[in-house]
Chains A and B, each alone.
Chain A
Amino acid sequence: MTATSAGSGPGAIARPSSAARTRARSRRKATPSWVKSVLMWTSIAAIVLFCLFPIYWIVNTSLKAGADLSRGALWPDNPTLRNYRSVLNDGDFLLALRNSAIVATTTTVLSLFVGSFAAYALARLRFPRKALLLGIVLSISTFPVIAIAAPLFKLWTDIGLYDAEYGLGLIIPNLVFTLPLTIFILTSFFREIPRELEEAALVDGATRVQSFTKVVLPLAAPGLVTAALLVFFAAWNEFLFAITLTSTPEARTVPAAIAFFTGSVKFEAPLGTISAASVIVMVPLVVLVLVFQKRIVAGLTAGAVKG
């Protein structure tokens, strides 16, 4: 099952005698290597198909129009960008993209700014009831958002943040779950930085602020990138606040807009356009995933394997 147990590695081809010996020795129990190879490639293919077929399907649908759309074939006979054109001419959808960009970016910046201070305190400083505090922060992230949404709806209505333009009313609620995420990731990254480095900076004449900005932050940069990506994804994805705290296109973000999508062309099934809209909002995230996959995986798995 493991890489080294695969019987004969690539080197075995160059040295037939050793490959032969390996085969002879392992005949009794071990599965022949070609079977393993086939198994491996089959499972890889299955995973890729499982993960990517739905994406293919939505792209396929988004390229269909008219008769194609009502046939449901595995590929479009007459691929067209009509759906994309009509989505990009849809003012409401563009507003949603704008709002999402603003909300997700601002949430990320605020979350990192506020979260890095808190994470530093939790990772480094000594104060009473630290474990309790960390526990509370983390337990916030298990709250069902619905339990917060109704009171926030009332509160936001009272103070005028309900349905605020650019989706500004969504930023602070988003912080409820992005802050614990940020604090969690950054705390584990800050802990990795040797305390002695900061002490060296202090002896070198740095203030605590300088030792944070000139030593800790640059070294935690990978952690900051990871946290930023995960927070951005979470904010871009956020749905419940988006539909409870906004009601007009001027305030709505992408997930809400997609949920309420009706298509710009009346009397036409919106399947094509909604697929095109879905593809458009997916593209930036998929690009981010491909570029930063290592950082994202590091962030997702932080704490899952090491304490």
Chain B
Amino acid sequence: MAQIVLDGVTKRYPDGTEGVRNMSLTIEDGEFMILVGPSGCGKSTALRMIAGLEEITDGELVIGDRIVNDLDPGERDIAMVFQSYALYPHMTVRDNMGFSLKLAKVPKEEIAQRVEEAARILGLEDHLERKPANLSGGQRQRVAMGRAIVRKPAAFLMDEPLSNLDAKLRVQTRAELSRLQARLGTTTVYVTHDQTEAMTLGDRVAVMRAGELQQVGTPMELYNEPTNLFVAGFIGSPSMNFLPAKVEGDHVHLPMLDMTPTPELLEELRRIDRVIVGVRPEQIEEAGAPGTKGWPTFDVEIDLVEPMGAETVAYFTVAGEEVHAGQLAEISRDRGGDNRISAGENQVVARLESDSTVQRRSVAKLALDPDKLLWFDADTGARVGIGAALAASV
């Protein structure tokens, strides 16, 4: 049980590039902390520095009450679950799980007892004498977990431990993992690039981008109050819609409608060269649906309808200049290309009520929740008008 403190931790490579820059983060005792971000953002490097597998160039790392910068991984009282599980192929499940205890010269009876206890927790009792090659993917994953928990370490470090499982097993194991961590109460740092895992598992989530920490907070804080375009775009599925906005006189022009912001917000928006407005898909409803009273409405032709059962996802296109922002480009690059359509148009996703009657290729009247819109500076990515209310009118 221990607190982990990163204080200005930096990883600089011999060629001068920085994998992690000046990262400060406190992970409370017993907390489940997620490090999330696109590939190459430095999250794994950060985890490996905590583990002692990468040298810390600058800054200080504290685990419990010790500064551990110069300690070997084995001396840091941590356990790690690797993406590939890194099970020792030449050892049985029992020996894999007991290896660290054996190295620590724990008496044989105690090793056996602790391994069996962990095996019971993970449902591996019947497989203790098998070799990893004879286990299924899910069993291997659990052995990797078991290897971590037998040590009763001060902290668990997990590097995308679910990414090698198929989708169904991943969801199931995610729930088990969450329960296990709650039961053991061990401080956990968990690296993932999957924002769903981040949202569902973490007590708090730290979003990283290009070696820098962007925002740390509970999943709902990140979702509702992202500090910049990157966090706003990265967290949430389907992603937030981003549209260009233009201040014209005392109102703001959006591709589908005009709005009148509060004077404070207007003042801030006027100082910005290019404004981007962010709309969560669930903030768009069919006009007249419950709770949409007083929302501004607009007519639009629906491109595609996906009835999901619990909700209906509708896609439509609005005219207007395509949004360009470096931070958004990074996200779409990471997700394998730009899914925005051709210049001059912006695609918007809306999550409508399941009883919605919208039809593909027909015009629908939709409504927009004016109170929860988020405003960003396209050039810096920073969110503006945090805390400012927006009164809107058509």
CB atoms of A and B under 8 A apart anywhere in the complex? Answer: yes
Chain A residues near B (Cβ < 8 Å)? 194, 196-197, 199-207, 210, 214-215, 218-219
User: Quick one: given A194-B84, A197-B88, A199-B82, are A210 and B53 in contact (CB under 8 Å)?
Assistant: no
Contacts of B90 in A (CB 8 A): 218-219
B326 interface residue per 8 A CB criterion:
no
**What number of A-B contacts does a CB cutoff of 8 Å give?**
62
Q: Is the CB of B72 within 8 A of A202?
A: yes
Q: Which of A200, A203, A206, A207 has the most CB of B within 10 A?
A: A203
B86 interface residue per 8 A CB criterion:
yes
Closest beta carbon of chain B to A2's beta carbon, Å: 30
Contacts of B368 in A (CB 8 A): none
Contacts of A206 in B (CB 8 A): 74, 99, 103
Dominant SS among interface residues on chain A: helix
Contacts of A204 in B (CB 8 A): 74, 79, 99-100, 103, 147, 151
* Distance, CA A162 to CA B297, complexed state (A): 101
Q: Is the CB of A202 within 8 A of B100?
A: no
* Distance, CA A194 to CA B78, complexed state (A): 21
Query: Which residue on B lies nearest to A197, using beta carbons?
Result: B86
- What are 12 A-to-B residue pairs whose CB atoms are below 8 Å? A194-B86, A197-B89, A199-B82, A199-B86, A200-B147, A202-B72, A203-B53, A203-B73, A204-B74, A205-B100, A207-B72, A210-B103
Contact with B104, one of A194, A196, A205, A214 (Cβ below 8 angstroms): A205
Contacts of B151 in A (CB 8 A): 204
Contacts of B46 in A (CB 8 A): none
User: Quick one: given A215-B88, A219-B89, are A205 and B82 in contact (CB under 8 Å)?
Assistant: no
Q: Is the CB of B89 within 8 A of A202?
A: no
Q: Is the CB of A205 within 8 A of B86?
A: no
B52 interface residue per 8 A CB criterion:
yes
Contacts of A199 in B (CB 8 A): 51, 53, 73, 80, 82, 86
* Distance, CA A161 to CA B352, complexed state (A): 90
User: Quick one: given A205-B74, A207-B74, are A200 and B88 in contact (CB under 8 Å)?
Assistant: yes
Q: Which of A199, A202, A205 has the most CB of B within 10 A?
A: A205
Contacts of B104 in A (CB 8 A): 205
CB within 8 Å of A: which of B1-53?
A: 51-53
* Distance, CA A273 to CA B88, complexed state (A): 53
CB within 8 Å of A: which of B88-121?
A: 88-90, 99-100, 103-104
Contact with B84, one of A196, A214, A219 (Cβ below 8 angstroms): A196
Q: Is the CB of B74 within 8 A of A200?
A: no
User: Quick one: given A199-B53, A199-B73, A219-B90, are A205 and B103 in contact (CB under 8 Å)?
Assistant: yes
